[in-house]
Amino acid sequence: KAGVTQTPRYLIKTRGQQVTLSCSPISGHRSVSWYQQTPGQGLQFLFEYFSETQRNKGNFPGRFSGRQFSNSRSEMNVSTLELGDSALYLCASSYGGKETQYFGPGTRLLVL
């Protein structure tokens, strides 16, 4: 089975712009979670989607949003980018959510 894939792998944006990141889960997995990793804050949970519905959300401002499609693929969007949004964004999938989460390679976002 193919693993979790994320596109793009690298992204450079400027402050004020918006960005959309994509995640394709392992085939058959219906839960997709997003995490932000920064040197200062470590790995932090952003949100989780299951069957096109956001089931949980972490403590992030409304500029961070996401969605899930009927094929379980997910996107996350960050609007009005700030320098502090520079991070590695990791997507993880699991069958229903409570099982082990398997991570993708991440998208490295640099905001200038």
Partner 1 sequence: AQKVTQAQTEISVVEKEDVTLDCVYETRDTTYYLFWYKQPPSGELVFLIRRNSFDEQNEISGRYSWNFQKSTSSFNFTITASQVVDSAVYFCALRGGEAGSYQLTFGKGTKLSVIP
Judged by the rule CB under 8 A, the positions of this chain that interact with partner 1 are 31, 33, 35, 42-43, 45, 48, 55-56, 58, 88, 90, 92, 94, 97-98, 100-106, 108
Output 44 or 79, the one with its CB closest to partner 1. 44
Instruction: Find the shortest distance in angstroms from Cβ 52 to partner 1.
Output: 16
Give the three-state DSSP class for 50. Answer: strand
Helix (H, G, I), strand (E, B) or coil at 4: coil
Q: How far is the CB of 66 from partner 1 (least distance, A)?
A: 13
**Is the Cβ of residue 24 or residue 101 nearer to partner 1 in the bound state?**
101
Q: Which two tokens stand for residue 42?
A: 């470590």
Q: Least Å distance between CB 105 and partner 1?
A: 4
Sequence letter at residue 22: S
Indicate the residue among 48 and 111 with the shorter CB distance to partner 1: 48
Burial of residue 22, with CB atoms counted within 10 A of its CB: 0-12 exposed, 13-18 middle, 19 or more buried: middle
Taking the C-alpha atoms of residue 21 and residue 104, their distance in angstroms, rounded to an integer, is 12
H helices present in the chain, as ranges: none
Minimum gap (Å) between residue 83 Cβ and partner 1:
20
